[in-house]
Structure 1
Amino acid sequence: MTATTPGAVDWRSAWTAALDDLEMDVLAVETMLADERRIAETPPSDLWRPPTELGALPLELRPRADEILTRQLAAAEEIARRLTANRQQMAVTSRIETGEAIKRPVYLDCAM
């Protein structure tokens, strides 16, 4: 068993805390995507900011960081998909005539 230096423990702890914060941010986005009503009612209040002066990621935390990145990319893809669907829906609804602006006849009598 090898002894770890206090600096190595602090470095690993700092990275673990940074990944914890990032994972909570991804979880919040995933939760909002799962509940559309919550998106409208609860805007995000505390956006994640990358920590500074951490140095290189410890190798043992790489799988966790990769998994968080995969989840982030999936959430970003879902957000983009929903934005596209929303734009398409807005385009369709903007073309729907309400009948208020232009009064048109309801029927045309061609018997005459």
Structure 2
Amino acid sequence: MSTQSEAGNSVTTEWRSAWTAALDELELDVVTIETMLADERRLAELPESNLWQPPTELGALPLELRPRADEILTRQLAAAEEIARRLTSTRVQQVMTSRIETGEATKRPVFLDCAM
């Protein structure tokens, strides 16, 4: 009977370890984005995008890992909001920049002689 109990503990330990590894990978992605958002210079050095895929063979998330998963989700949502805010800001700056007249595209008269 103890062999069956030991086998069950081994499976539970492997399951928990697999989920911990999956959360580690997901958290590393969030840390990368948070670091890039914190350092403007790093935005130019974008890493290749690897979309995280939830593990399909692990089953349900262990209950004791739920707080960590919730915290990672909260951080992901905050990073996504910051990215959206920065994209909007960039769009506004692009519109303003496009309105700046450089004088190269069209040559307009500097003055108009109304004496005629």
Task: Trace 1:26-105 onto structure 2 (pairs within 5 A).
Answer: 26-40=30-44, 42-45=45-48, 47=50, 48-105=52-109
- Partners in 2 of 1:66 and 1:79 — Cα distance? 20
Unaligned runs of 5+ in 1: none
Structure 1 runs of 4+ off > 3 angstroms? 107-112
Q: Which residue of 2 aligns with 1:16?
A: 20
The share of aligned pairs that are identical, in percent, is 74
Deviations 1:52-75 (A, max 9, x none): 211101110011000000000000
State the aligned residue count: 110
- Partners in 1 of 2:11 and 2:106 — Cα distance? 75
- Partners in 1 of 2:58 and 2:92 — Cα distance? 43
Q: Provide the aligned C-alpha RMSD in A.
A: 2.0
- Partners in 1 of 2:56 and 2:41 — Cα distance? 35
Unaligned runs of 5+ in 2: none
- Partners in 1 of 2:30 and 2:105 — Cα distance? 46
1:103 shift after superposition: 1.2
Q: Calculate the TM-score normalised by the size of structure 1.
A: 0.87
- Partners in 2 of 1:34 and 1:53 — Cα distance? 35
Q: Secondary structure of the equivalent of 2:56?
A: coil
1:100 shift after superposition: 1.0
Deviations 1:30-51 (A, max 9, x none): 00011121111x2223523322
